[in-house]
Structure 1
Amino acid sequence: VVSHSTVENLNKEGTARIEESEELDLFLRYLHETGTIIYFNIEVLRDNILLDPKWMIDALKLLINAQPNLPINSADSNTESNSPADNNTESSSPAASAAHSAITQKWSDFKEKGILTLELVDAIWTKEKHPDLHKNKEHILMIMERLNVLAKPRSFNEMGEK
């Protein structure tokens, strides 16, 4: 993810400059339409440009393929897992156990009902394992919403009900 201002500055430094900001925007929209970048010229998304659309696909795959550690019985509870929901499960404190249980429930809600919470996203896109995803989380989620991959729940007022 690169900022729009960075693209503008790089354009000014280049040898084949695009002089007008409207032309630069047109060029960015062309690159978006050809699948080279992800760029939307709407207020909430215009400030950041995703240079590699595959990166977005990888981010989505991480969400879809995440699996919490769900031991079949207590003998399996020490089984290693690659799950992002396993953060700090080696700690036997009640707080760590409760946090793990909460993330496991959120994962179950995601799998069964399609409800994706920010807490679950944070558990999957951890700062340690996926710093770029974690850093750009809000922008990535807004792009996924714009692409109709994710949807925010509607309130009763938005549906015209009281």
Structure 2
Amino acid sequence: MTANTPPLLIAGFFAALCLLCSSLALIDFRRGIIPDALNLAVGGIGLARAIVTGGAVAGVEATAEAIIVGLIFWLFRRLYFAARKIQGLGLGDVKFLAAATLWIGLPGIPVLILIAALSALIAVGGAQLAGQTLTRQTSLPFGPFLALGLLSAVAAQQWFGLS
């Protein structure tokens, strides 16, 4: 972030991201799908933020990183399907991770994944403690946890200086 970027503008970008992530989480939880329009909005606002805070070169770098992350997770998705014959990661999740990279860059992806995985494990543990039967075939929408991971990673980078 450049020194002359108004803090109110940064807060506005984050507020927009919060709204988009909330919508995404709710839709994925209810319908098991992350709409392309929401992924596009997350990515578009993330790209706009990268350009406003770092210039055109930062926008190009963020886009290249997003493409790399998208390809890595798409490949991971394909390999998992080849090994297990079931989809373990939805295509909407892959697109969301690519869009999220425009916000947090490559260094933020491990933080996002860690927070998403831990929060999903906590949710599954809570469901089992509440008496819900879960098997290896139980489907769990991962979008809400990815959204939480993204918001946490952005906040950690922005306000705590973690990269």
Query: TM class, shorter-chain normalised?
Result: under 0.3
TM-score by length of 1: 0.23
* Higher RCO (CA 8 Å, separation ≥ 6 residues): 2
The structure in which a higher percent of residues are helix is 2
Work out which of the two has the higher radius of gyration on C-alpha atoms and give 1 or 2.
Answer: 1
TM-score by length of 2: 0.23
